[in-house]
Structure 1
Amino acid sequence: MAELLRVGGFEREVLVVVMPTGSGWLDPGAMDSLDYITKGDVAAVAVQYSYLPSPVSVVVDPTHGIAEAQALFDRVYRHWTTLPKDDRPRLYLHGLSLGAFLSQETLPLLDVLVDPPHGAMWAGSPFLSDFWRMVVDRRHKDSPAWLPLFGNGSLIRAGNQEATFDEAEADWGPMRLVFLQYGSDPIVYFDWSLAWRRPDWLTGTRAPDVSPMMRWVPVVTLLQVGIDMAVAVGNLGYGHDYVAQDYIPAWAATLDPEGWTMDVQARLITHLQDLLPR
């Protein structure tokens, strides 16, 4: 907290509280695109809570980082609320994978409504996330599990490689919660019920990155997706390997940057092409 104050983090236009993966890693695709979209007028604060990679942390103790994540958010949020509303940064949360889960666990929505942060962008929310599961379970019944429409879209929107986050019945409210997930991400869609029930993401229209050859087989699909979780990275833009090309529209939907257009978005995607898979 002292370092955040020293470097003037609360004097920037945007302040993002980030929960990293288990080993403290932050995805360059997410952080570089955030820097560009905000034109550098941003501070991001994160604390490493484990030396283990996320998959190992999930097995050993998935809740290990919650206390530290809560402490970080509480310190930043308490100081932020003491600042004049017309002279403080816009406050956001971010996390990828296990970091997304921990970030969601530390956002006490009912306690911050009097002075809410401006939003959050969470990528690859793991199956551990009650928040993400709530969004999927309570989605509009005519929307797929891999691209859920929640409520009237004024608070929560979800997207993937092809979604633009524009589809909603209402305009955004004062707080924007954005979920980015790939339909082929086994860490997002693993569930023990795969052993005895066909998942919603394998019924009806499938996500663009889920093979049409995949079939549900009792027990077998559980083992298949479980093994997939161990090898979910290595294919950029698929599985659990999120890329700048898809972070950019997610951040734009979250931050609502001034002067943002599809032309600007296309230019940034081209500029960051070294971080892109396709």
Structure 2
Amino acid sequence: MIRSLLTPVSGFSTLALCLGALCFGFALTPGLVPHPGTVQGALAGASFAAGYGIGVGLVLLWQALGLRVWLRPGPAARQAFSWLVLAAILGATWLHADAQEDLRGLMGLPPDGPLRIVTLLLTAVPVAAVLLILGRLFRSAMLTVARGLSPLLPERLALLLGFLIAALLFSFIGNDVIVRRILEAFDASYQALDETLPASADPPSDPLKTGSAASLIPWGGIGNEGRQRVLDPLDAAAIGAITGAPAREPLRVYVGLGSADTPEARARLALDEAIRIGAFDRKVLVIATPTGTGWIDPSAMMPLEALTGGDVATISVQYSYLPSWLSLLTVPEYGEETARAVFAAIHEHWRALPEDRRPQLYLFGLSLGARNSDLSADFYDLIGAPYQGAFWAGPPFGSRSWVDITRARLPDTPQWLPRFRDGSVVRFLNQYEMPDRGKPWGPLRIVYLQYASDPITFFSPSILWQEPDWMKPPRGPDVSPDLRWIPVITFLQIGFDVMTATTTPRGFGHVYAGTDYLNGWLALLSPEGLSGTWDDAALMRLRTAIAARGL
């Protein structure tokens, strides 16, 4: 039997080619975000290889079960069929070009042009070839092990063990060798990028700024993301110009990975620096958990600092150099320990203050920062002294509270804009609307900002075999009506979307707009955390200022 498995699929399997071509065509249908030709080509090539591999697997399973093969096409028939498959692939590429352009138009992007098809094919072919070669290596390893075991075991058991041993071998090589080396290379490159000093990045002279001569945190240790946060040009004068009233200078504490050796030490350093500059004397205090690279989105911080009239302090501690999507797919535990240490240190000091002297305490996080911010506190932390609220944008799939709340949403509301109970504790908004606006809040407030086209929020391993709720009608207005659930292929599509989620225009995908952050902060802070009177004219000035900064 084992020897018989070598011949029927030694050439291109007819069934495998058919499934590969179908998967190639399906992969060209729109996902959640538009892709350049190279990314779309890599997706199509991977989908072809997946379909081909499924076809080969079905043939092997059929023969391993000893079932009869009724049709064995000859060499000429197989060659003719191969040309038909090639023609079908080229036709599918041409036909689906319009669907991709429709998705780009939905997000206000210009057409890609006819060269996209050429780029797509030039990328798809080598990607599919490499994956097919890897598939053949796997099959060879499986059969080699099975042949070695066949004198000792029944052939079917030898084949099963051969498959399992080959799978373990490839998993070890893929995860423990290749992926680990890739992660180390990424980490080193992003660390080098983070440590790069901009040409004009001199330490601030203001003693209330992180990295100044008076600061407890050295300027060189906070990294590029920390320097950009500290040197944000939104100052008291700029805020006053928007509000039309005197404003305070916002306080920004940032601790980089290079500032201390352990999460606990970095958390303690953040607390000491916050105490030094008087962060706990401000009206609003925000623990802003960064994304994987340490980035704090200025589109989120500008509305916060303006709405509070600068009477706000933010505290951020870096935990990684890797982009959020890479951390999320490989090491999602990155940042949990740091987020917990920072919250514990800040919350312990905050709750020890007299209640009438405490600032309003809020949590903020974007992307992986939202996930880690959610994990930073538990029920027992909040029984005696709950924070006032949390603002989590683009929460990644698998985020603890997001999953529970979304599952428990009101049955007549979609997953991409759910309503939770009476809206007194949790509210969702997107770029189009916010349900429950105007209803009274409870003592603790949670706001989620998410776009229906954000794959980092709506990816899930279960898409491999099950249609997700967010694809069912009614769909989000920023999701293509041509998106269809196809087992395996949609999983690959959304997986590629995760990697390119930040390439969309602002207001789509995983790129959140300042005006949407503004709506979230208004809902969260009103009226206790706002400074002055934010009438329509003042809000219009703020929206104009946000647009002027490209946020």
TM-score tier after normalising by the smaller chain length: over 0.9
2:361 paired residue among 61, 75, 91: 91
Q: How many angstroms does 1:131 deviate by? A: 1.0
Q: What's the counterpart of residue 14 of structure 1?
A: 284
Contact 2:287–2:364 (8 Å) recurs in 1: yes
Q: What's the counterpart of residue 68 of structure 1?
A: 338
Q: How many angstroms does 1:208 deviate by? A: 1.5
1:83 & 1:217 partners in 2: Cα distance? 55
2:443 paired residue among 174, 189, 194: 174
CA RMSD of aligned residues (A): 1.5
Question: Which aligned pairs between 1:215-234 and structure 2 lie closer than 5 A?
Answer: 215-234=484-503
Matched letter for residue 250 of structure 1: G
2:375 paired residue among 95, 102, 105: 105
1:95 & 1:218 partners in 2: Cα distance? 32
Q: How many angstroms does 1:167 deviate by? A: 4.2
2:463 paired residue among 188, 194, 208: 194
Asked which structure has the greater CA Rg, the reply is: 2
Contact 2:350–2:358 (8 Å) recurs in 1: yes
1:94 & 1:263 partners in 2: Cα distance? 27
2:462 & 2:330 partners in 1: Cα distance? 22
1:98 & 1:90 partners in 2: Cα distance? 24
Q: What's the counterpart of residue 270 of structure 1?
A: 544
Q: How many angstroms does 1:125 deviate by? A: 0.2
1:248 is paired with a residue whose SS is helix
2:549 & 2:478 partners in 1: Cα distance? 19
2:481 & 2:395 partners in 1: Cα distance? 24
| 1:241-277 Cα deviation digits (max 9, x unpaired) | 1110110000111111253445433331122113457
1:134 & 1:263 partners in 2: Cα distance? 39
Contact 1:154–1:173 (8 Å) recurs in 2: yes
2:327 & 2:478 partners in 1: Cα distance? 27
Matched letter for residue 544 of structure 2: T
2:423 is paired with a residue whose SS is coil
Question: Which aligned pairs between 1:1-278 and structure 2 lie closer than 5 A?
Answer: 1-167=271-437, 171-235=440-504, 236-256=506-526, 257=530, 259-276=533-550
Q: 1:60 to 1:73 in 2, by over 3 A?
A: same
Contact 2:290–2:316 (8 Å) recurs in 1: yes
2:355 is paired with a residue whose SS is coil
Unpaired stretches in structure 1, ≥5 consecutive residues? none
2:334 is paired with a residue whose SS is coil
Matched letter for residue 409 of structure 2: R
Paired residues in the alignment total 276
1:145 & 1:262 partners in 2: Cα distance? 31
Contact 1:120–1:178 (8 Å) recurs in 2: yes
1:263 & 1:202 partners in 2: Cα distance? 39
1:232 & 1:154 partners in 2: Cα distance? 31
The structure with the largest strand share of the pair is 1
Q: How many angstroms does 1:75 deviate by? A: 0.5
1:212 & 1:167 partners in 2: Cα distance? 28
Contact 1:17–1:46 (8 Å) recurs in 2: yes
Q: 1:212 to 1:261 in 2, by over 3 A?
A: farther
Contact 2:428–2:434 (8 Å) recurs in 1: no
**Structure 1 runs, 4 residues or longer, greater than 4 Å off:** none
Q: 1:198 to 1:59 in 2, by over 3 A?
A: closer
Q: Compare relative contact order (CA 8 Å, sep 6+) and give the higher one, 1 or 2.
A: 1
Contact 1:127–1:190 (8 Å) recurs in 2: yes
Q: How many angstroms does 1:87 deviate by? A: 1.2
Matched letter for residue 61 of structure 1: V
Matched letter for residue 481 of structure 2: P
Q: How many angstroms does 1:142 deviate by? A: 0.3
Contact 2:451–2:508 (8 Å) recurs in 1: yes
2:313 is paired with a residue whose SS is strand
| 1:87-108 Cα deviation digits (max 9, x unpaired) | 1210000000000000001121
1:191 & 1:263 partners in 2: Cα distance? 42
Unpaired stretches in structure 2, ≥5 consecutive residues? 1-270
Q: How many angstroms does 1:59 deviate by? A: 3.2
